[in-house]
Structures are given as structure tokens and as C-alpha cells.
Amino acid sequence: MQDTPLTISKILLKTSKISTIQIGPPAEQPVNPLAHCSLKWRQKLLWVSYIEQLQQPYLPSLDNEEWLANCLKHSRMQVVCVEPKLGEARLKLLADACEQAHKQIFLRIPLNREVPRKQQPVRWWLKRMIEWSIAALLLLVLSPVILGLMLLMRIFSAEPVFSRQWRVGERGKLFRIFKFRTMTVDAKTRQQYQGKDKDYFTPLGRWLNQYHLDGLPQLVNVLRGEIKLFGPHAWTLDEVAQLSQSELRELRRLPGIIGSYFYQRK
């Protein structure tokens, strides 16, 4: 029996050899989030790069998040590395699939020789432990406020209390950041079709956003080691696709809550 493109896709993602293949939609099908991508894998690492012209066969199984996640689950690859210029939709599709498959996903970023190495590991770990302790103390002290806000949000809105947004962390690793939900779940989709002047805040969302209380759950990310208290802005998938090469180099640093706070106030 002749192999179908779906079968070929699953076999290719299971191999441990060095291989490269390009994917994109056929002429009769609409453009999908993973259109015009080049896949290159070696051992346990998968590289996803952007290409402008398609030269090789179209693999439909890689257009679907569920299919892609299933392929990754049954592959030997542990890390997926993607180019920022793939765009927000493609990056999110790949990140969601990797999350389902329990694989790590990183952005491919330029080398930054100015980023200091951990030449003094004791001092580095001491600094991290201090920040971790401060975050744990703040979370404990502010827990009545956080629980109160959660209760108010459940009373005044049927929307989920928290939002888990993709952000870029140290060395380009993608992670989920925790925030109180200030916008409706379908706000982004509705803005695209009905304009951006509409009010899509939840009943408490505008107030939380105005006083920057929506970021309190990020203390959990500090405890998990994904961000720190003082550091550069944690870029979103939409923002990172528009960064210059020099700005991409800064993604090797561990982002922080305070840096994101001042960035949002600009």
C-alpha cells in the first residue's frame, strides 16, 4: 500500500537521522499557520525555519495542532527550535503542540557575547535564592488580596480567572506566564472583525489593568524560575516576530516582572 502524506509525516518525525523537508499548502488550499516552513531534525532536536518558496511535498498532518502534537509525542525529539519570523500564529501553533507533547520549545536567537556567563555560580545561586525568597514572601503576604480578587472575578464574570499567555524566557525558551484575565476570551478575535475601539474588558478587567494588579500571579512564575523580579521585558509571540537582530540577542537574558511593568507603561 502506498504511503499517504499523513503516514510519511509521522515516520519522518520519528527518525533520528539528519533530514530536511519543506512544508506548505497546495495551491487549492488556503494558507495555514505552518505554511512555507522548513523542518530539519537531527537526533533529539527539531528546527523549524521560515522559507518563501516551497520546493518539496506538502504534508497535511503538520497543519493540524492535534496531528503535530501526536507526531511529537511518538518521536525521539526532546527540543523544538523555531525562527521568530514564523509569525505569531505559527509560533503559537507549534508552542501549543509542544505543550501537549511535553516537549521544550525555543526560539532560534543570535549569539550575544555580552551576556555574562555564570562565572561565579555561588553568587548567582545566592541572588536567585534571594529573589525566590522575596517572591515567596510577597505571595504569602498578598495571598488575601489575590484570593479576594479571584472571588470578585468569579462573582462578576463568567470568564476564566487566569490567562496563560506565551512569553519568551531565558535563551529564547517559550513558557506560559500567569496573569489575571482582564479581557474576554474571544477579545482578540472580535477585535479583528469588529474593530479595536470596542471595550472587551471584563467587569473588573479595566480596574485590574489600570492599577497593574493583573500581574500578581506572575510571582508563581518567579518561583518556577521562568522569570525574576528584576529583569528585561518578557516579550509576547506577537512582539518577538517584529524584533531586530540586536533586540533578539537580548532574549538570552532571564526576563523580569519589573522590566515588563515599565515597558507596558511606555
Task: Report pLDDT digits (tens) over 116-133.
Answer: 555 567 888 888 899 999
261 versus 136: which is more confidently predicted?
Answer: 136
The pLDDT score that the predictor gives to residue 59 is 54
Which pLDDT belongs to residue 77?
A: 82
Give the separation between CA 39 and CA 201, rounded to whole angstroms.
39
pLDDT of residue 148: 94
For position 9, what pLDDT does the model report? 46
Contacts of 209 (CB under 8 A, 6+ apart): 182, 201
Average pLDDT of the segment spanning 176-187: 84
Q: Which range is most confident: 29-33, 201-205, 219-223?
A: 219-223
Q: Identify the residue whose cell numbers are 527540543.
A: 79
What's the predicted TM-score (pTM) here?
0.76
Place of cell 537574558: 253
Q: What is the DSSP letter of 224?
A: T
Which sequence spans correspond to the domains of the chain?
5-107, 121-164+175-265
Mean pLDDT of all residues in 244-251: 84
What is the band of 199 on the pLDDT scale with cuts at 50, 70, 90?
low
**Set of cell numbers at residue 264:** 507596558
- Apex CA 243: angle with CA 241 and CA 244, to 5°? 130
- Tens of pLDDT, residues 30-56: 445 555 667 776 667 887 777 665 555
How large is the average pLDDT for residues 104-116? 76
Residue whose C-alpha is closest to residue 74's, from 159, 14, 151, 154: 14
Three-state secondary-structure class, residue 152: helix
What is the average pLDDT value for the chain, to the nearest integer? 77
Task: Tell whether the model's pLDDT for residue 185 goes beyond 60.
Answer: yes
Cα angle 164, 165, 171; round to 5: 120
The mean per-residue pLDDT over the stretch 166-183 comes to: 92
Higher per-residue confidence, 57 vs 261: 261
Residue 210: pLDDT above 70? yes
DSSP 26-39: -TTS---TT-SEEE
> DSSP characters for 179-198?
EE--B-TTHHHHHHHH-SSS
Residue 180 has pLDDT above 90, yes or no: yes
d(CA 219, CA 249): 25
